[in-house]
Amino acid sequence: MTTTLHPAEPAVQAPAAARGGGDGTADTAARGTRKVFFLTILAAASALFLYPFVWLVVASLKPRDRTFADPFLPWPRPFAPGNYAAVFEAAPVLTWLVNSLVVGIAAALAVTLSSAFVAFGFAYFRFPGRGLLFGSVLATMMLPGAVTLVPTYLIWNSVGLTGTQVPLWAANLFGSAFYIFLLRQFLLGVPRYVFEAARVDGASYFDLFWRIALPLSRPALIIAFIFELKASWFELMKPLIYLQDPGLYTLPRGLKAIVDTFYQGGDPKWEIVLAASVITTLPLMVIFFIGQRYFVEGIATTGRRG
């Protein structure tokens, strides 16, 4: 990052000097003031974006009657880490965490591999109907999920899979328009002679996909994988529709159950709601910091809302 940014700095200086007519010191001072001004704005905005997290974590570590006390104190007083033990007693949070991981990885793996498979087909072959089929990929990107909500439920119901976690990931086995598009664009950038050389050496078309296209599109595959993992980790509506047994809940569905039980009513247990929210959020934060580069790249280059 820094290596690409620093060479730009002289370019900023040049017109300033041209305008100032030689006397550099006044301009430098003005630039310094401006920079302080911009940094102040960004710092203030950062505080607004970050403070809700601070509040959440701090409040989750306080006893219930202090939840709303000292809202601007950035550490818990008094410190009550026992809230987290209480969450695991109040609800099968660990099971939900494992469920979310299993469903998330299944969903992400399924969509990444199947989308890459189809994307390779679009990128490598010329065949009758390709334009029409690719048009269908683009068209379904606009399709709001709400339209197919009811019939999709009826499909899973008719094969007896409602009440299981299968509907949460199995549709991903058939690729997803957005990732097919992303991976195809990526594969189009691979020089064709790479594939042709392998063909001459006797590789099958499946080999081309498995041994050449997949390894070469690693960065795009990682983007697809972590985007889908995140989407799956966010998903609330599907678990609401398909899961009845609390033992099968994913974390967001479980957190919703905790809110419904403990936030309101005669005996609110806010500390449990707050600690469960932290537990739901934390794993994604870890994934984000590991794969940050890919997130930012993915959003910036594809325009996908994260």
Partner 1 sequence: MTTAAPAGRRVRRLRPETRWAYIFMVPWLVGLLVFQLGPMIASLALSFADYDLISAPRFTGLDNYARMLEDDKVARAVGNTALYTALHVPLAVVLALVLALVLNRITGRAAGAFRTIFYLPSMTPYVAVGVLFLFLLNGQAGMVNDFLALFGISGPQWTTDPDWILPGIVLMSLWNLGSTTIILFAALRNVPRELAEAAMIDGAGPWQRFRSVTLPMISSALFFVVIINTITSLQMFDQVYTMFFGNQIAQQSSGDAALFYVVYLFQQAFQFLHMGYASALAWLLFLVIAVITLIQVKVGNRLVYYEAEEHAG
| Positions in 133-162 near partner 1 (CB under 8 A) | 133, 136-137, 140, 142-155, 157
Question: 13: Cβ–Cβ under 8 A, 6 or more apart, which residues?
Answer: none
Question: Taking CB under 8 A as the criterion, which residues in 257-296 touch partner 1?
Answer: 259-260, 263-265, 270, 273-274, 277, 280-281, 284-285, 288, 292, 295-296
Name the strand (E) or helix (H) holding 85: helix 82-90
> Three-state SS string across 117-175, please?
HHHHHHHHCCCCCHHHHHHHHHHHHCCCHHHHHHHHHHHHHHCCCCCCCHHHCHHHHHC
Instruction: Count the neighbouring beta carbons within 10 Å of the beta carbon of residue 278.
Output: 18
Question: Taking CB under 8 A as the criterion, which residues in 26-55 touch partner 1?
Answer: 34-35, 38-39, 41-42, 45-46, 49-53, 55
Q: Least CB distance from residue 89 to partner 1, whole Å?
A: 19
From 22-30, 76-84, 89-97, 127-135, give the range in contact with partner 1 by CB under 8 A. Answer: 127-135
User: Helix, strand, or coil here: 19?
Assistant: helix
7 prior amide bond cis, ω within 30: no
Please report whether residue 64 would count as binding partner 1 according to CB under 8 A. Answer: no
Q: Which of 91, 106, 118, 223 binds partner 1 (CB under 8 A)?
A: 118
Q: Which residue, 9 or 89, has its beta carbon nearer to partner 1? A: 9
**Spatial distance between the Cα atoms of 266 and 256, rounded to a whole number of angstroms:** 18
Q: Least CB distance from residue 85 to partner 1, whole Å?
A: 20
Please report whether residue 59 would count as binding partner 1 according to CB under 8 A. Answer: yes
Q: Least CB distance from residue 125 to partner 1, whole Å?
A: 4
Question: Taking CB under 8 A as the criterion, which residues in 69-108 touch partner 1?
Answer: 71-72
